[in-house]
Amino acid sequence: MTRKLALTAICLLPFAAFSEEAADDAIPVAPEFTISAELGFLYKTGNTKSADMKAGLNLRHEKNQWLSQVAFNFLGKKLETEDDSGDKDFVTTDNKWGITMQTNYTISPEGQNYLYGNIAYEEDEFSSFEKQSSISVGWGRNWYKTEKASLFADIGPGYKHDVNRATETMPEESKDSFIIQAQALYIRKINDFVEFRQLFVAKAAVNTGENSIYKSETSITTKLIESLQLKFTLTVDHNTEVEDGFDNTDTQTAMTLVYSF
């Protein structure tokens, strides 16, 4: 199942960060708590009528050796259809929302290693899975960091709960799996106004034949003004085991405005 939206956004928070003390009083100190919101909307009229909306909210709190982040995202799409009697109505063709929460604890104030805990939940009305949730804990490291580029990665054991959607021939079914979760985030500052990010997330089932989840998110963010950015995103979601009639891979092409406050 492939979804391409003209104005949408995928909100998935970075999972590792390290603060640096200001060299002197002239350099401003980053705030402990920050919020950013993303919104994309498209309404089409004419021969075909449709409405698409993507919204996201990101919260981040960092103090001392602790970093906590929460990301909420919603995707909705409606398309005008006509029934046999000629009546027209808007029908939902896509409805998806999810939330991801992660907390990191840097082992030493100036160190590169951290411990993390991650919880994720998602509902997708039109995928093979009605609900998917996971929890993971483990170890991560800031492998590389300069003024222009950085690389963060973490890995740990976890547990995943999938709820397969009921079909005409099969009832709703729940499946639990032990997983190994691995994440990697590469950030490259191209110039003062443009930033590139590449995120990979893998939730690999330990037992053969169970569903594993893989995600790739590639984004370029361009600063318009101090608190407003334009973001282009390509996201690929892949499930290894899906029901008949569903695709293993979903893709989303996104463009959104991001406001930080």
Cα 150 to chain center, whole Å? 19
For residue range 167-195, list pLDDT tens digits in order. 777 778 899 999 999 999 999 999 999 99
Amino acid at 21: E
Residue 146 buriedness (CB in 10 A; 0-12 / 13-18 / 19+):
exposed
Per the CB < 8 A criterion, the answer to whether 170 and 209 are in contact is no
Quote the mean pLDDT of the chain.
84
Is the confidence at residue 19, as pLDDT, over 80?
no
CB within 8 A of 63, min separation 6: which ones?
32
Predicted confidence at residue 179, as pLDDT, reads: 97
For residue range 210-258, list pLDDT tens digits in order. 999 999 999 999 999 989 999 998 999 999 998 888 889 988 888 899 9
Q: Which residue has the higher pLDDT, 89 or 71?
A: 71
Q: In this structure, which topology does domain 33-260 adopt according to CATH?
A: Porin (2.40.160)
Torsion sign (Cα): 257, 100, 28, 195: negative
For residue range 90-124, list pLDDT tens digits in order. 677 778 899 999 999 999 887 899 999 999 999 98
At residue 227, φ and ψ (nearest 5 deg) are -110, 5
Rg (CA), the chain: 20
Per the CB < 8 A criterion, the answer to whether 80 and 90 are in contact is yes
Largest CA distance in the chain: 73
Rounded distance, CA 257 to CA 122, Å?
A: 23
Rounded distance, CA 234 to CA 217, Å?
A: 6
Per the CB < 8 A criterion, the answer to whether 236 and 249 are in contact is yes
Predicted confidence at residue 154, as pLDDT, reads: 96
Q: Partners of 94 in the beta sheet? A: 77
Rounded distance, CA 128 to CA 90, Å?
A: 23
Place of tokens 């003209």: 6
Domain boundaries, the chain: 33-260
What count of other Cβ atoms lies within 10 Å of the Cβ of residue 109? 10
Closest CA to 138 of 120, 118, 116: 116
Closest CA to 88 of 50, 42, 43, 44: 50
